[in-house]
Amino acid sequence: MRLAVVLPVGDDHKAWEVDIWAARRERGAPPPQRYWQGRLGMRPWDVFIA
């Protein structure tokens, strides 16, 4: 499981930025899958394992 994403900042790429929420955002299901899970009364997978 990823903890964070390291992104280059600026044109020279000498500075780096750590984005700790990017890995969490990728855990979510795609929108159509979440939509149908909601319509069918199912709990989305990321909510189920939380």
Q: Is the pTM for the entire model greater than 0.95? A: no
pLDDT of 26: 59
pLDDT of 35: 84
- Measured CA to CA in angstroms, residue 3 lies from 18, 24, 26, 33, 38 at distances of 10, 8, 11, 24, 28
Render pLDDT for 1-50 as a digit per residue (tens, 0 to 9).
Answer: 567 788 898 888 789 998 877 666 555 666 788 788 888 888 877 777 76
pLDDT of 42: 86
pLDDT of 30: 67
Kindly give the residue spans of alpha helices, DSSP state H, lying in 1-50.
Answer: 22-25, 31-39, 45-48
User: CA 9, CA 43: separation in Å to the nearest integer?
Assistant: 38
3-class secondary structure, 36: helix
